[in-house]
Structure 1
Amino acid sequence: MLTRTAVITGAAIAASLPASQFLASPAYAAAVGKDPGPGTNPLSKKVREAVRRAEARARRVMTGKPSRNGWEMERVADDGGTIFTRPVPGTPLTGSAGIAVRMGDVETVLVHVVRRFHYELEELRKGDVIGWRSPGTVRKGLPESNQASGTAVQIRPGAYPAGTRGGFFPQQQLLIQDILSELDGVVRWGGNDHKPDESLFYIAVRPDDSRLTHAANRIRRWDETPGRGAGVLADVTS
Structure 2
Amino acid sequence: MLAQAEARKRQLVPGWNTPNGWAAENMANAGGTIWTREVASTAVVLTVRDDEPRAVLEYVVQRFNAEVHSLNATDAVGFDPATRGRGALANLASGTAVNILPGFYPRGGGDEMYDHEVRTVQDILRGCAGLVGWGGEARPRSQGFFYLQVPPGSRLLKDWVAKRREDREHLGIPAVGRPLGV
Specify if TM > 0.5: yes
Residue equivalent to 2:177: none
Q: Which residue of 2 aligns with 1:113?
A: 60
Letter in 1 for 2:123: D
Question: Deviations 1:98-131 (Å, cap 9, x if unpaired)?
Answer: 2111111111111111000111111000210101
Say if 2:66 is the partner of 1:131.
no
* Deviation string, structure 1 residues 177-207 (Cα, Å, up to 9, x no partner): 1111121110111111132111210000011
How far apart in 1 are the matches of 2:138 and 2:68?
20
Matched letter for residue 193 of structure 1: A
**Which residue in 2 is equivalent to 1:220?**
165
Q: Does residue 55 of the first structure (1) align with residue 6 of the second (2)? A: yes
Unaligned runs of 5+ in 2: 174-182
Task: Please state if 1:104 is matched with 2:61.
Answer: no
3-state SS of 1:201 partner: strand
Could you state the TM-score of these two structures normalised by the residue count of structure 2?
0.90
Q: Which has the higher contact order (CA 8 A, sep 6+)?
A: 2
- Aligned equivalents of 1:165, 1:216: Cα separation in 2: 32
Identity of paired residues, percent?
36
1:227 CA drift (Å) = 11
- How many Å apart are 1:221 and its aligned residue? 2.1
Residue 224 of structure 1 aligns to a residue whose secondary structure is helix
Aligned to 2:17: 66
Does 1:192 pair with 2:137?
A: yes
User: Is residue 57–residue 80 contact of structure 1 (8 Å, CA) maintained in 2?
Assistant: no
Tell me which of 177, 184, 199 is aligned to 2:122. 177
| Aligned residues of 1:82 and 1:103 also touching (Cα < 8 A) | yes
- 2:148 and 2:69 mapped to 1: Cα distance? 21
Amino acid in structure 2 at the alignment position of 1:185 = G
Displacement over 3 Å in runs of 4+? 225-228
Is contact 1:191-1:198 (8 Å) kept?
yes
CA distance in 2, matches of 1:187, 1:115: 14
TM-score (norm 1): 0.69
Which whole-Å CA distance do the structure 2 matches of 1:112 and 1:182 have between them? 9
The aligned counterpart of 1:82 is: 33
CA distance in 2, matches of 1:116, 1:221: 18
How many residue pairs get matched? 173
Amino acid at match of 1:110: L
